[in-house]
Chains A and B, each alone.
Chain A
Amino acid sequence: MQGVKIRKLEIQGFRAFGREKQTLDFDSSLAAVWGPNSQGKTSLAESVEFLLTAGIARRRLLASTPDEFADSLRNVHMPAGTEVFVRAVFETGAGLRTVKRTLLQDYAKREECRTALEIDGAVAQETDLATLGITLSQPPLRAPILAQHSVGYLFTVGPQDRANYLKALLEVSELDELRSGVFALDGELRPLDAPVLAQLQKAVSVPRAGAALAPLQVGAPTTQDVRDKLEESLRLLLNSAGKPASGPATELADAAERLLEETRARTFPIQLLESRPPAIWESPGSADVALIDAYVAERRALDAEVHRLMRLFAEALSLSGVADSMDPIECPLCGTPLALTAERTAFIRDRLTATEKFRAAEKVVGEALDKIVSAAEASLQAADTSVPRVLTIGRTEARRAGFNLRSLRPLLGGDGALLAPWLDSLRKLAAARRGVVRASRRAVAAAREARTGMAAIESSAEIGEALARLERTVQIAAEAHTAYSTVAGPVSSTVNKVIDDRGTTTGWSDLIALWRAPDQLADVLLENATRASLAAEIQEALEEIDKGNAAVWQEKFGSLSAGIQEWWELLRPDEPTYFSRVAPRANTRRTVDFKAGLAAADDRKDPKLREAIAVFSQSQLHCLGLAVFLARATREGCGFVVLDEPVLAADDDHRAHFEGPVLRRITERGMQVVVLTQSQGIWQNVERLHPQAERFRLECGDRLTGTIAVKTSDDLEAVLQRASILRGGDPEILRLRAALIRVGAERFCKEILVDGGHAERSDLEGRNLGFLEPRVSPLLVKAPEHSGYLQQIARETNDGVHDAPLPTHGALTVILGYLRKLVSEYRPKHGGKK
């Protein structure tokens, strides 16, 4: 058995079906369901679709807006609170499985419906259906249900949707994803957009010098190439300006920089506006100032007279016998006997010690004062060197250099947006500089005065105050410098750019900057060359993949064409107008054509190929839709298909082909087929041609009951009657008769087991005579030969339903008699005796 089969279908409250649950038991691989118009056939087909896909494709295919299908799934007459569900028992490789889908919320104006899925009574997810072996196809026709709105889908949908559907059907979408993924990789390989490339672009435009750089813009230059070309270009630049160009390479940048400044200065001396960062001012600090006070304290501690005689004392104490004498001795200075006692010697020693401390302090404070002088002088110097030269050179010299606001204003665009803040910051910087100059001079003067008159210093107050003021002014100047730099930078670059753009110096600064860091340019050029190389490889890969995909695409279309042709030839054999193939149009992947062959005669010689959609009749297109559907179902290994009006009512010619060869081929392929039709002719012919077929009739009850499904082929006597009227030894007749007898025997067995309480009907769904016979034979006890009758029926009809050997007409007549005997003995309601 191939794929999953439906053995029972229960429907309640879904579309035409009402509050009474309707059950359809499918024991056979073929079922024909008849019903006039508006009796629920499409509802039955869509109930299976709803069960499998939680929706109906008709909404997507036919609705111009989704709200047209609002509240369309629930039977409009159903009492509130009544459950709407579809439940099916599927025969799977793992036995019988029950799948139920309950409608929780119908389609709304903008929202999808909500449903609950259960498998064997447990909550399940959509993906769990696949674990049962139920395979769904590509959207929008996911379920194996052919309906009026879907049979012509491929011929009414736009070319792009048709191509997409077929691509999905042929499962080549992952190849398209691969292609898209490779295409997107090009974005990974975009060239670096580095500033050095913009600089190179500008440098190339430098007259006479830039041409040497042009080769760097193509190919993959090495680092040495880049250096060589930049050097050559710089030498050409200097040479063209009449400057020495033969100097060492290391001096080229500075020489070019000077040339640039000179040239720019002819238009405006922008260098006069440029400032340098002020040197970091190292304040002598409070510790140095504190030394002055320490010195003053030491000096005060020393007696002025002792200070005057300090050298004499030192000489006296250095004499032998004086410093260590314990007894009074003669004074070595005045000769007074016994005048120099031990106490006096100790006193002199103390004074000398104090004097040494004072001298040390004096030395230290002298150094501190020198330091203060140096720091203040450094500030004074920095006040001039860190500010723009325009503040220090004086107006006359500035004018002589070409600096004036009248010529600056047009270089800045004339709107004052840059000029005003720059002037303001320049004035503040000038004021700050003056403050530093004054404070520095005062600090220098104070420190120098103290240094030369240290004996007169009374405190550190004056120097401390001068230093504090200097520190404040330096701080103010630093802030003013920062503010100036912020606005002066744009002024300088704007002026330089305007000057450069006037032509003379365009690209010079870029050339100099590149020369100062050639490796950076070389790295970027190398990286971009590498990326370009790989981008070319990716492009080649893309072309290779395109060709490969096209080949795969053709292979798979060839396979699909063959499948469609098979079903087409069963439906409309030997017609001069026929389905030829389905294939993508040459040189495009967006259009897929169904080609029709048009021949003059039935032999189909020398056909002309045309678009099927254009030349096929409605009937032919319908057949093509059915053939595509069956090819798809076969390709995807569907276990069952539901065909809602598969044949147009007025199409008698291919109806016969459908009823016979097509249905036979479907079942031979192992697929179960449920045919829904309003044609009684088809309904009856299916039974006639396929005795194993089950027949149902759909009737419309009252508005609450809705559609009622009646299984008409359940009539055992009818089966036996049909088996009786078949005569002759034609193999087809013998096969049909055997199948009917077997179907009758299976129904007889099931009734015996169910009515006798030996089994539930649900236990016997999908069971065949091979399963039923051993269980029923022991129950046939009214005569010893009865169990043998059933065994013989099973044996003969088993042969009959398979290819060979077929039972003879006589053998079938005998076992039909056996079956009638058993029915009359054990099933009196079917005409048997009590």
Chain B
Amino acid sequence: MESELDAQKGGQELSNFDRLGRHLSETGIARSLLSAFRDAHNRGEHSSARMREVVAARLAELRKERAGRENQET
């Protein structure tokens, strides 16, 4: 009944998060969001705050990149 995926991870069935992770790119924000969601989920916490932290961090990163580019131009 179980597919070959279920036999992975040392015989343990892959979690849904593991399964989804296999389909996400290594560098995109989707993976960071999945990671934050999973951490919150596993701790029984609300995930929205953790995901907003990821967004805020990425926003800060983008601001910094833009500010850096602007400084270079000027």
Contacts and interface: CB of A to CB of B under 8 A. Distances in A.
A547 interface: yes
A181 B34 CA distance: 10
B25 to A, nearest CB: 7
Given A222-B74, A530-B63, A555-B5, A547 B23 contact: yes
Contact of A544 (B6, B28, B59, B63): B28
A127 B58 CA distance: 39
Please list the 8 inter-chain residue pairs (A to B) with the smallest Cβ-Cβ separation, ordered nearest first. Answer: A548-B23, A541-B30, A552-B19, A563-B1, A544-B30, A548-B20, A222-B70, A530-B62
Interface string A615-650: 000000000000000010011000000000000000
B46 to A, nearest CB: 9
Interface in A550-569: 551-552, 555-556, 558-559, 562-563, 566
Contacts of B73: 222, 224
B34 A559 contact: no
A526 B66 CA distance: 8
Interface residues of A, number: 45
Contacts of B52: 185, 188
A189 interface: yes
B3 A545 contact: no
B3 A223 contact: no
Chain B interface main SS type: helix
B1 A634 contact: yes
A111 interface: no
B30 A545 contact: yes
B34 to A, nearest CB: 7
Contacts of B2: 559
7 contacts: A178-B33, A178-B34, A534-B62, A538-B29, A547-B23, A563-B1, A635-B1
Interface stretch (A167-175, A243-251, A772-780): A167-175
B16 interface: yes
Nearest to B37: A178
A566 B2 CA distance: 12
A538 B74 CA distance: 30
Given A172-B16, A529-B66, A559 B29 contact: no
B3 A558 contact: yes
Interface string A509-538: 000000000000000001101110110011
Chain A interface main SS type: helix
Interface in B6-31: 6, 16-17, 19-25, 28-30
Counting chain B residues whose Cβ lies within 8 A of the other chain, the interface size class is: 20 to 34
A184 B49 CA distance: 12
A182 interface: yes
Among B6, B20, B59, the most chain A Cβ lie within 10 Å of the Cβ of B20
Contacts of A556: 16, 19
Contacts of A562: 1, 3
A220 B24 contact: no
A295 B12 CA distance: 105
B48 to A, nearest CB: 6
Interface in B27-74: 28-30, 33-34, 37, 41, 47-48, 51-52, 55, 58-59, 62-63, 66, 70, 73-74
Nearest to B34: A178
B59 A534 contact: yes
Given A177-B47, A555-B3, A562-B1, A182 B33 contact: yes
A547 B28 CA distance: 14
A182 B30 CA distance: 9
Contacts of B66: 220, 526, 529-530
Given A174-B16, A224-B73, A526-B66, A544 B51 contact: no
A530 B58 CA distance: 10
A540 interface: yes
Contacts of B16: 171-172, 174-175, 552, 556
A549 interface: yes
A557 to B, nearest CB: 11
Contacts of A541: 28-30, 33
A618 B69 CA distance: 69
Contact of A559 (B1, B47, B48, B59): B1
Nearest to A522: B70
A178 B37 CA distance: 7
Contacts of A547: 23
Given A531-B59, A544-B25, A181 B48 contact: yes
Contacts of B25: 544
A102 to B, nearest CB: 30
Nearest to B32: A541
A416 B5 CA distance: 79
Contacts of B29: 537-538, 540-541
Nearest to B56: A188
Contact of B23 (A533, A551, A559): A551
A224 to B, nearest CB: 6
Contacts of A178: 20, 33-34, 37, 47
A178 B30 CA distance: 10
Given A182-B51, A544-B28, 20 more contacts: A175-B17, A177-B37, A177-B41, A185-B52, A529-B66, A530-B63, A530-B66, A533-B62, A541-B33, A544-B23, A544-B25, A545-B33, A545-B34, A548-B20, A548-B22, A548-B24, A552-B20, A555-B5, A559-B6, A635-B1
